[in-house]
Amino acid sequence: MYCLRLRRLVLIFVNPLYQTEEGIAQTVVKGKTTRAEVEARFGKRNPFGCYAYHEVSLPIYNFLPTNFIYMKSERRHWEWCADYDGEGVVRDYRFTHKVEKDERSVIRDTVGVIRKEAGKSLSQPEK
């Protein structure tokens, strides 16, 4: 059941039509679309009342032995939340899409920690 639900969410947000608020606005009309229509198209919502999908991409060189020199990742988050009125019609909705890029280097981080600790000991001698 969970696998089918996850697959449906993947199909929703991978579809370019649903990756923007304008794309969702083409299929969900405020004041017209009902909860039953939304659930028929997108499935059941999560416990927080939203549809969310998260995707992480890692370049192939992260898996090579040199990954301690440089690592990179990109995370994408899509979330769509709908509010309904008392009759089950979409009153309003919110759509967010975030992209977070992370670049790390274990060596660079280690040198930074060493410099930080060395700076502390030089600027504040122990008593």
Note the pLDDT tens digit of each residue in 70-126. 777 888 888 888 889 999 899 998 888 898 988 877 777 788 888 888 776 555 655
pLDDT at 44: 84
pLDDT at 91: 92
DSSP 64: S
* Gap between the Cα atoms of 33 and 15, Å rounded: 20
Q: Is the pLDDT of residue 22 over 50?
A: yes
pLDDT at 15: 56
Upper half-sphere CA count for residue 71 (Cβ side, 13 Å): 14
Mean pLDDT of 29-37: 90
pTM for this one?
0.56
